[in-house]
Structure 1
């Protein structure tokens, strides 16, 4: 006699009022119609996936991790958004896509990319928690299947979701041992104490606040082969069109990259390499880049200001939500005659200089109080439009999170590949 599979029902609050705190300004903005951001972490596995083990893992280890995973958004009489716990079945949040049968792994890769583009433009039902899981049981080029999580950005930022996902992942070599992360210092270095340090910091702070205000309103990058510069009404249509997923893997053990990381931070190297790639592409498409204003918007984790030196400590502290802000950095451009002798390291050096310039300002410390002030003045939709304009007016957006040292496994299946995609941004 076959046993009936458990339904995995999660019960919500019985009280009419919710004990969870209201949404932060950034979370409220990400939950608005003007900025429908979602994060799609994608896991590919070496062996076929056991769907029952995945669902059981979601119910027993993922959902209990944070109350937001069993809550929906509610609005009080004052228009303030809150989290409200609800009853739901975990299986209702799990989707099994129907793909053609008998295809090659490479063809299934293409179907996976198209599927990611499709679900990235879809919203969430209002009567269910703002997350879901898509289980693809077809083989890919580097594994026996894939699991795609989809989280509304209102639940949390990259660092919060890393702590969430690492709770359901184990070490592939020994599931009893915890995953470990690189001990990368996240706290900004102190500014050198000298006679002009404080006046310079004040000047940089005023300059950054003014530029941030202009970025969210009227200051736009020049049109280029990377940035179309189409008006907002067109951008809102493009927001729900498909996008292309692509990636490039660089081995940290390579001698060239290892040498760079010994002299610069990871963020400096990543940002410099992306800026250099953009410059090469633009030079190939346009030739003349002189005088063009181009910027990249970088996501900065402001939890580091509280003194946490590694992601392990941040995860243990349980600081959840959206603790990141956006910062603009110039993308260097050079005239054609200098392009032949251009050293890629120059882009890394300039990225490092931009990072140092950010540390020599109090804008990072003021960003959250300014966001709360803007939220009170313009409301969630107005604040969301400001953030959206800041992204739309820039050329590109850069974000990254730190992964563990060891090979990962989920529900006993070793992970062969992992990446994540942010959807809903103008650049998508």
Structure 2
């Protein structure tokens, strides 16, 4: 019997270990401590953004270089994660007329959150990689007990092709956005080279200040510079108007065409399969330097190319002049560019309660072009053009404010309906995050890879990129009924980057010869 079949029999039958002894614990709904019995005084309100992601969960698969040392792992989790506000809180209705929930502290029992699943030994021995993948997929069909803090560590303590052991961390999206969780991860890890210190921080992005900041040139710059500044504001305003109109049109009537990437209703809960593949960060940087663009431009271009390869192979369409435009929801962090470094320092100095947790996200609707190009670099050039255009717009600010205003005026149910309608009218969710730039240890265990993804959005395909040291993981969360060949789609990402890198190498060689 497979892991999912075993888990479906009961809400969650798990084997946990406490003080070195094995025990069987039942973690079904209602098994946790009552909300009123252990909750402290009402805390801060749950943010509007957090309330809109009530069905969204983040799943981070972490590969470890050593077997799991349970006492060390428990001590590390207890000392780190369990002491941060969100990880020791539950959501409780505050009794007000509008029923706004608040974060309320509660007691945390690690045995409720550290889970050793019972897997079929024969299935694990036959294909450990598939056993891990199947188990992580089964999590998308299992609810979490809302009487406890909504986080879990699932320990899969057997070797795979990539790691000696694997942990799957499941966290409710209301705990925070990707930047919040990356902050927490960085604060909970230590440098593998020197466990006495924090890992080296990712470099600060080149962007500084608010997205809308357009500093006025000094008088000494002349009339031409002043005219260019005024024109940039006019362009910014025009692009914002166009993007806001597209936003409302998407909510009301504008739908992406039906392609094999578009979600298909199966009449039942759609189980998500999470798969990942390592790409070379050096290859991505080579393309970035050759085309004078950003890492994000390259990754968007690689995604264009991969989806195009997959589409034309699956459909058998030989029309090389054909181009299909679908759209992606691209999540954008609205926190200050220095927030990661500042928050990690605050946590390290014991001021974690002062950190602004939660979701601080806006999004943009990013066109994705599916077509065939003789020159692989055309995918990246097109991506750069579109991303640069989106940077000259306040769409991300507007979408963040719109979500809060809609929730405040129309209430949670109406806001959720509008939010899900907008997502269902697009095709893909896309995100890209920078991770640790050196190898780290998590709770005393060296980390081999970090692969974040999630489930909940009403889309058949979610694409996440996460860098770690000198690799980038492409992580796909797919409707497994719609994408039974998800590993072939991963192959398309690998092959697309290879072709784009080879083309960029020739461009770089020609430039050097010139």
Kindly indicate whether the alpha-carbon contact (under 8 Å) linking 2:191 and 2:438 is maintained by their aligned counterparts in 1: yes
Distance 1:267 1:13 in 2: 46
1:28: which partner in 2?
51
2:130 pairs with one of 110, 121, 128: 110
SS of 1:118 mapped into structure 2: helix
2:9: which partner in 1?
none
- Distance of aligned partners of 1:258 and 1:91 in 2 relative to their CA distance in 1, 3 Å threshold: same
2:293 pairs with one of 250, 264, 268: 264
1:243: which partner in 2?
272
Kindly indicate whether the alpha-carbon contact (under 8 Å) linking 1:11 and 1:88 is maintained by their aligned counterparts in 2: no
Shift of 1:11: 13
Per-residue displacement from partner, 1:266-296 (whole Å, max 9, x unpaired)? Answer: 2111111101211222222332474633112
- Distance of aligned partners of 1:170 and 1:372 in 2 relative to their CA distance in 1, 3 Å threshold: same
SS of 1:295 mapped into structure 2: strand
Kindly indicate whether the alpha-carbon contact (under 8 Å) linking 2:212 and 2:394 is maintained by their aligned counterparts in 1: no
- Distance of aligned partners of 1:319 and 1:203 in 2 relative to their CA distance in 1, 3 Å threshold: same
1:375: which partner in 2?
407
Higher strand content, 1 or 2: 2
Distance 1:410 1:260 in 2: 31
Kindly indicate whether the alpha-carbon contact (under 8 Å) linking 1:10 and 1:70 is maintained by their aligned counterparts in 2: no
1:42 pairs with one of 61, 64, 69: 61
Kindly indicate whether the alpha-carbon contact (under 8 Å) linking 2:186 and 2:198 is maintained by their aligned counterparts in 1: no
1:18-167 aligned at under 5 Å gives the runs: 18-31=41-54, 36-64=55-83, 66-76=84-94, 77=96, 78-101=98-121, 107-167=127-187
Q: Which moved more, 1:133-142 or 1:347-356?
A: 347-356
1:401 aligns with 2:433: yes
Shift of 1:369: 2.4
Shift of 1:404: 0.8
- Distance of aligned partners of 1:17 and 1:252 in 2 relative to their CA distance in 1, 3 Å threshold: closer
Shift of 1:129: 0.5
SS of 1:248 mapped into structure 2: strand
Larger Rg: 2
Distance 2:245 2:306 in 1: 29
Query: What TM-score do the two structures reach when normalised by structure 1?
Result: 0.86
1 or 2 for the larger relative contact order (CA 8 Å, sep ≥6)?
1
1:322: which partner in 2?
359
1:356: which partner in 2?
388
Distance 1:11 1:59 in 2: 21
2:12: which partner in 1?
none
Distance 2:20 2:443 in 1: 17
Distance 1:351 1:190 in 2: 24
Shift of 1:403: 0.8
Gaps of 5+ in 1: none
Distance 2:107 2:325 in 1: 51
Kindly indicate whether the alpha-carbon contact (under 8 Å) linking 2:42 and 2:102 is maintained by their aligned counterparts in 1: no
1:332 pairs with one of 363, 369, 378: 369
Q: RMSD over aligned Cα, in angstroms? A: 2.9
Distance 2:126 2:445 in 1: 21
SS of 2:378 mapped into structure 1: helix
Shift of 1:199: 2.5
Per-residue displacement from partner, 1:373-409 (whole Å, max 9, x unpaired)? Answer: 1001222222222222222221211112211111121
Shift of 1:179: 0.9
Query: What TM-score do the two structures reach when normalised by structure 2?
Result: 0.72
1:223: which partner in 2?
258
Kindly indicate whether the alpha-carbon contact (under 8 Å) linking 1:106 and 1:141 is maintained by their aligned counterparts in 2: no
Kindly indicate whether the alpha-carbon contact (under 8 Å) linking 1:171 and 1:409 is maintained by their aligned counterparts in 2: yes
Shift of 1:102: 5.6
Per-residue displacement from partner, 1:335-372 (whole Å, max 9, x unpaired)? Answer: xxxx352x222222222222222222222233332221
Distance 1:147 1:402 in 2: 20
Kindly indicate whether the alpha-carbon contact (under 8 Å) linking 1:121 and 1:424 is maintained by their aligned counterparts in 2: no
Distance 1:269 1:415 in 2: 26
